[in-house]
Amino acid sequence: MRGTPAGMASPHPLGGQLPAVYADDDFAQRFVEGLDVVLAPLFNVLDCLESYFTPALAPEDFVDWLTTWVGTELDGTEPLATRRRAVATAVSLHRVRGTRRGLSEAVHLAFGVRPEITESGGATWSARPLGPFPGSSQPGLRVTLRIRDPSTADPHRLHAVVAAARPAHLPFTAEVAHLLSPEGT
């Protein structure tokens, strides 16, 4: 929570801008000096406004506000670096939202692990009409997050991330599973 920092001086003190009749008035000078203390942080924010909208430089509480502003799929418990990265990549993620790549990126951003994605559909080309359709006749999407300790990942969070980033028309399942170890190790 930001407030008035101690010792911050206004770059535009009001006392020097008063009419000449108040230049020697002690009460008027002390009164506007109190207003300078209130206005100094505002001038500071306005002078640094561009930094507030740069995720790498913005104050932490402002980054939290930006995450809601750009539509990230965060729950607020992520580390600050993840929240900053989510804000910085929001536009590129919105461009691929609803695609396999977009779903993979959203899950990776939320959990730090690339998921296994199995889709029911496909695309093909044929020189002859009425060829067989690729994929399954039942639409569906399965997302599996494989990690060493599945108890450390929240399955409800995975479900929410997949629900937000999947193609809108596909029913889906999302699960957290053990990381498969290579044969013989």
* Structure tokens given for 33: 């000096």
Cβ atoms of 145 and 115 closer than 8 Å: yes
Is residue 122 within 8 A of residue 132, CB to CB? The reply is no
Q: For the chain, which residues score pLDDT lower than 70?
A: 1-5, 182-185
Backbone phi, psi, residue 3, to 5°: -145, -155
Do the beta carbons of residue 4 and residue 41 sit within 8 Å? Answer: yes
pLDDT at 183: 57
The Cβ of residue 93 has, within 10 Å, a number of other Cβ atoms equal to 19
What global pTM score does this model have? 0.69
Measured CA to CA, the distance from residue 181 to residue 185 in angstroms comes to: 7
